[in-house]
Structure 1
Amino acid sequence: MGTLFNWFSPLFQHLRTWTAIGLLLLAVTLPFPAQAASRIDPQLEQQVLQIIREHPEVIIETVQSYQQQQQQKVKQSQQTFLQDLKTNPQTVIGESPTTGSAQSKTLLIEFSDFQCPYCAEAHKTLKELLAKYPDKIRLVYKNLPLVSIHAEALPAAKAAWAAYQQDKFWEYHDALFTNQKQLGEALYLNIAKNLNLDLSKFKRDLALAAPAITKDVQLAEKLAVSGTPFFVINSPTFSGVVQLADIESILTGAK
């Protein structure tokens, strides 16, 4: 993998094409806001519609130009992110939970969703890697709850953040993935009890968790991360987006 996030380019092409088609249809059928319709000269409206019908390529070119600008912004954000990961990793880590060796030269950023079944599988692999290479990797957890398909992803993320305020994030994180099929308010409270958390503080912190999670989500959006789990690694041998299956070979210097 030569460049950061380079596999997103087909997605941008797909979105650009369908956005152009959608806007063309919108322009033909709804050229003006409803509130202003009564103030538009009917003759002018027909002239505009006729121009659009005869020259739809103008709309497509405009949309393509806009999409290119947006793609360039994302590319710049990705490059800045990777540069920060190399030269000032603490800016990337921020206040996110970390585990593994604080002295490790390999930093692995994970964007994850507690209700995502693929994330649960990745969790098992990461646990094994951290146990096998305790001095070679530092894992940073970033929230990306896919709320449109996972109703409990955000509540679970809030509960884990509340546990983090009592230095129990990773224990809580593990319990959530282990009991993923039971995600819900009862489980969140039971895990807190089992970890001997101050329940009053835990409940208060639940209400304060949203800003930290939103910050992670905004970072993911800025980098055009659309699915979980998603990994970015910076090591002496490789830097960029990485597949879970390749992490061990990077840790051993084979890649």
Structure 2
Amino acid sequence: MGIFFNCFSLLLQYLRAWAAIGLLCLVVTWSFPAQASSTIDSQLEQQVLQIIREHPKVIIESVQAYQQQQQQKVKQAQQAFLQDLKTNPQTVIGESPTTGSTQSKTLLIEFSDFQCPYCAEAHKTLKQLLAKYPDKLRLVYKNLPLTLIHSEALPAATAAWAAHQQGKFWEYHDALFSNQKQLGEALYLDIAKNLNLDLGKFKRDLTLATPAIKKDIQLAEKLAVSGTPFFVINSPTISGVVQLEDIKNILADAK
């Protein structure tokens, strides 16, 4: 405890010193031309680097403490989410698309990406499970477009949301996964036409989808969801994160 306190006190001293130096630099920046400011910035950088070199342990301990705090926040968010899933599932569902039995005691939350090949495979399995256990499962779809690796994930999610506004999400959802290699603006419009959507409304709704999709993404980030597909289940026998193969066993064992 004494060592930690000393390290923490030392870190506070350095933080105060950095703050003082930063304030001084800000004042000087207002008073001197850009060239002088650049020189001061360089000096400040060297001072900070020197502190890190001389006291690396303090920096490491500070980072570790921060990581532990973040992990605790994630754990608390996950526990709160599971509690809501048990006691007030509609709060979790919100306005997200659902399919299956509304009376089912098993609720499955899926975070998915329309361009993810693993999600496409999971989609096939989920359709089979919904057909085999029509009274035992309710599926809720949440968007998690992995935009850094899937350029069409967000546009596809946007189009599916627009279809949802006309009650055709799941038909649109199925068509996107069935034509995953052709994702693009032409396909989105063709699917809308094939489903007899009001094209004027569909195009207008494309511009309104961002808040709903962003809400799903923020929920995934809060729960530390790192990839897709990702499943959270609440059933009479289990509540928490599950793998796709586990879902089959849970439904098979359900009475």
Q: TM-score normalised to the size of structure 2? A: 0.83
Letter in 2 for 1:126: L
Query: Cα gap change, 1:132/1:55 in structure 2, threshold over 3 Å: closer, same or farther?
Result: same
Partner SS, residue 236 of structure 1: coil
Query: Cα gap change, 1:47/1:218 in structure 2, threshold over 3 Å: closer, same or farther?
Result: closer
Letter in 2 for 1:141: Y
Alignment match, 2:178 = 178
Alignment match, 1:15 = none
Alignment match, 2:33 = none
Unmatched 5+ stretches in structure 2? 1-20, 30-36
Alignment match, 1:193 = 193
How much does 1:54 deviate? 2.3
Query: Cα gap change, 1:62/1:102 in structure 2, threshold over 3 Å: closer, same or farther?
Result: same
Letter in 2 for 1:225: V
Give the Cα–Cα distance (whole angstroms) in 2 for the partners of residues 131 and 53 of structure 1. Answer: 62
Give the Cα–Cα distance (whole angstroms) in 2 for the partners of residues 226 and 40 of structure 1. Answer: 37
Q: Percent identity?
A: 83
How much does 1:53 deviate? 1.6
Once the two structures are superposed, what CA deviation does each residue of 1:14-47 show, in whole Å capped at 9, x if it has no partner? xxxxxxxxxxxxxxxxx978966645795x8766
Once the two structures are superposed, what CA deviation does each residue of 1:198-226 show, in whole Å capped at 9, x if it has no partner? 00000000000011000000000000001
Unmatched 5+ stretches in structure 1? 1-30
Give the Cα–Cα distance (whole angstroms) in 2 for the partners of residues 37 and 130 of structure 1. Answer: 64
Letter in 2 for 1:116: C
Alignment match, 2:18 = none
Whether 1:72 and 2:72 are equivalent positions in the alignment is: yes
Q: How many residues matched?
A: 224
Alignment match, 2:107 = 107
Whether 1:208 and 2:214 are equivalent positions in the alignment is: no
Partner SS, residue 92 of structure 1: helix
Letter in 2 for 1:196: N
Alignment match, 1:164 = 164
Query: Cα gap change, 1:59/1:195 in structure 2, threshold over 3 Å: closer, same or farther?
Result: same
Letter in 1 for 2:133: Y
Alignment match, 1:5 = none
Give the Cα–Cα distance (whole angstroms) in 1 for the partners of residues 49 and 159 of structure 2. Answer: 53
CA contact (8 A) 1:237 1:253 kept: no
Letter in 1 for 2:219: L
Give the Cα–Cα distance (whole angstroms) in 1 for the partners of residues 193 and 42 of structure 2. Answer: 68
Give the Cα–Cα distance (whole angstroms) in 1 for the partners of residues 45 and 149 of structure 2. Answer: 41
Query: Cα gap change, 1:200/1:72 in structure 2, threshold over 3 Å: closer, same or farther?
Result: same
Partner SS, residue 142 of structure 2: strand
Structure with higher Rg: it is 2
Give the Cα–Cα distance (whole angstroms) in 2 for the partners of residues 46 and 215 of structure 1. Answer: 42
Alignment match, 2:87 = 87
Q: TM-score normalised to the size of structure 1? A: 0.83
Query: Cα gap change, 1:39/1:250 in structure 2, threshold over 3 Å: closer, same or farther?
Result: same
